[in-house]
């Protein structure tokens, strides 16, 4: 079924129940709503930072957006972009786009003006919704961006170069547009992380979105009384597809703005959250705050919290072991995925496999996985190779890029992930590293994830990234960028001494104490580090090969 059917089902079954809550602790005053017949939010006087909408209101607003777009001439298959921070308006706009038969195109909120223009051109975007945080970036490229495109501003005090969302939707019908949709209709374009340049556009059909909802619900057993805490940005598959578990179960979700430990724990406590997806840095920050005594579990209502799961990056086993010291009753899951496989869940650890922590897991619901060599031959357990996945959530293609599509889609339904992995005798898959991140030092293959996992066991280290640095003799060497915990000191000699437990060829040749940059989904921004430390030419040479 198309993903929009799930929203309409919830509106019928749970119309008066809360669907979404927005928590913005930095908001000091109640947001005023003056939109005629279009009140998106219900407010609580004693908590002006909290707003909510019901499933019925959610669906009505999506219908208004859809009818507005149809009145502006949008047609099936046209592309409509969203450039907004997480808010209650985000998902109704997304579903409104889908209800017209158009294709939703979420933009990364960190895109520069040039990247916004590039992605709008690449995806053939006809309409762009944008929020107040992006006025400056849109204005910088408005002359080029507005040619043949409608710019719709979502917020108060609309800039002169855009149309006001409030004015466009306020008189539109809240009845469904009755556009027939099927699993085979194109639904969304997501963008790759752009590790070697500008991002690629990833095209998915409705079956991919519905598959992701089924995966999340099957893996994490969402029921109607669960409450999901969503912190990452909704433009990313990792956040929205985890929320799809709430969509399929008709349960409440909380959109939280803020990632410090007290903010997260307070949200879990006040909203009675049962499921929380954390990135590694946020989980580590919570543990560090608990260790220091800055926060105490006894100050919050946490007994209903049943599941903590992590994705988007390799998870150090030591982190989960320490997490269990504070939260021994929590179920835990690791989710592996990529935007080309509609985000998380094509491989996952599972709730009852804690003895395999360190693995990314086994194939998810309706998914298959295999590991292949350079000639695409399937490898036995114990042999490292490229991880491939197959299932209903594999992308259709890289939009307008047949060459790149052919590289990762062999034509037999499988997707080549670009990740180096190994499978043990029990069928559990362990991620070794990104294929493109392998460091070749003096003929030896070094996998940064293995070195990073080891360094994270050092009590003084908060975060670490290992990259290849140029070396005349060895070609490249492993360099460790180390971010120490707050108030802690360490020397290069101390780190080198610690690394003596590693095989000699795996030890970092250079130690750099600096912050480790991560993007909005928690992934280490290694292209930034390579450029910063002169390693980008290695990547350029590999691309030319």
User: Please, is 147 exposed, middle or buried when counting C-beta atoms within 10 Å of its C-beta (0-12, 13-18, 19+)?
Assistant: exposed
For 153-184, the pLDDT digits (tens) are 999 899 999 999 999 999 999 999 989 999 99
pLDDT for residue 439: 83
pLDDT in tens, 176-228: 998 999 999 999 999 986 544 568 999 999 999 999 999 999 999 999 999 99
> Does the pLDDT of residue 62 top 90, yes or no?
yes
Domain 438-544: give its CATH code: 3.30.300.30
Say if CB 462 and CB 483 are below 8 A apart: yes
Q: Where are the beta strands (DSSP E) in 472-532?
A: 475-484, 510-513
Contact between residue 56 and residue 64 where contact means Cβ atoms under 8 Å apart:
no
Burial class (CB in 10 A: 0-12, 13-18, 19+), 73: exposed
pLDDT of residue 317: 81
CATH code for residues 53-207: 3.40.50.12780
pLDDT at 26: 73
Does residue 540 have a pLDDT over 80?
A: no
Query: 403 pLDDT exceeds 50?
Result: yes
pLDDT in tens, 129-154: 999 999 999 999 999 998 889 999 99
User: pTM value?
Assistant: 0.82
Structure tokens at 383: 């042999």
Domain boundaries, the chain: 53-207, 438-544
pLDDT of residue 48: 65
Report DSSP state, residue 31: P
Q: How far is residue 77's CA from residue 185's CA, in Å, rounded to a whole number?
A: 8
Token pair recorded at residue 330: 């929590």
**Given this model, what pLDDT does residue 44 score?**
58
Better-predicted residue by pLDDT, 275 or 449: 275
CA–CA separation, 217 and 248 (whole Å): 7
Q: Tell me, what's the pLDDT at 47?
A: 65
418-445: pLDDT as tens digits: 888 999 999 999 987 666 677 877 656 6
pLDDT for res 505 = 77
CB neighbour class for 520 (10 Å; exposed up to 12, middle 13-18, buried from 19): middle
pLDDT of 443: 57
Among the ranges 99-103, 277-281, 477-481, which has the highest mean pLDDT value?
A: 99-103
- For residues 395 and 529, which has the higher predicted lDDT (pLDDT)? 395
């Amino acid at each position: 079924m198309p993903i929009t059917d799930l929203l309409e089902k919830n509106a019928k079954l749970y119309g008066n129940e809360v669907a979404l809550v927005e928590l913005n602790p930095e908001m000091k005053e109640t947001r005023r709503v003056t939109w005629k017949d279009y009140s998106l939010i219900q407010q609580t006087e004693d908590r002006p930072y909290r707003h909510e909408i019901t499933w019925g209101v959610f669906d009505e607003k999506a219908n208004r957006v859809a009818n507005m777009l149809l009145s502006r001439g949008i047609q099936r298959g046209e592309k409509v972009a969203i450039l907004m921070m997480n808010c209650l308006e985000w998902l109704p706009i997304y579903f409104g786009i889908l209800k017209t038969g158009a294709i939703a195109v979420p933009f990364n909120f960190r895109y520069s003006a040039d990247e916004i223009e590039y992605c709008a051109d690449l995806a053939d975007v006809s309409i762009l919704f944008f929020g107040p945080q992006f006025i400056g970036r849109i204005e910088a490229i408005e002359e080029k961006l507005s040619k043949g495109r409608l710019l719709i501003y979502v917020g108060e005090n609309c800039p002169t170069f855009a149309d006001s969302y409030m004015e466009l939707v306020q008189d539109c019908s809240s009845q469904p547009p009755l556009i027939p949709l099927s699993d085979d209709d194109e639904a969304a374009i997501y963008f790759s992380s752009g590790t070697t340049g500008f991002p690629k556009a990833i095209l998915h059909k409705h079956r991919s979105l519905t598959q992701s909802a089924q995966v999340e619900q099957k893996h994490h057993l969402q029921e109607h009384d669960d409450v999901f805490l969503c912190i990452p940005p909704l433009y990313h598959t990792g956040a929205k597809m985890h929320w799809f578990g709430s969509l399929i179960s008709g349960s409440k979700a909380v959109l939280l703005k803020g990632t410090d430990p007290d903010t997260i724990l307070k949200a879990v406590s006040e909203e009675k959250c049962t499921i929380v997806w954390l990135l590694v840095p946020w989980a580590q920050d919570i543990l560090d705050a608990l260790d220091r005594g800055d926060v105490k579990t006894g100050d919050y209502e946490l007994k209903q919290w049943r599941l903590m799961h992590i994705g988007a990056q390799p998870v150090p086993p030591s982190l989960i072991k320490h997490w269990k010291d504070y939260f021994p009753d929590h179920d835990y899951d690791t989710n592996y995925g990529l935007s080309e496989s509609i985000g998380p869940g094509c491989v996952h650890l599972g709730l009852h496999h804690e003895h395999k922590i360190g693995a990314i897991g086994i194939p998810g619901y309706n998914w298959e996985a295999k590991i292949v060599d350079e000639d695409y031959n399937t490898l036995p357990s114990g042999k490292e190779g490229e991880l491939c996945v197959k299932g209903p959530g594999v992308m259709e293609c890289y939009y307008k890029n047949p060459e790149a599509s052919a590289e990762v889609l062999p034509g037999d339904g499988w997707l080549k992930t670009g990740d180096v992995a190994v499978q043990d005798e029990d069928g559990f898959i362990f991620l070794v590293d990104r294929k493109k991140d392998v460091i070749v030092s003096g003929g030896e293959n070094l996998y940064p994830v293995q070195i990073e996992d080891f360094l994270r066991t050092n009590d003084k280290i908060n975060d670490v990234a290992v990259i290849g640095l140029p070396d005349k003799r060895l070609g490249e060497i492993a360099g460790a960028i180390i971010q120490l915990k707050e108030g802690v000191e360490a020397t290069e000699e101390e780190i080198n001494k610690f690394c003596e437990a590693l095989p000699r060829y795996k030890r970092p040749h250079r130690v750099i104490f600096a912050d480790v940059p991560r993007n909005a989904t928690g992934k280490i921004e290694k292209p930034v580090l390579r450029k910063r430390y002169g390693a980008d030419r290695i990547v350029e040479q590999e691309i030319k090969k």
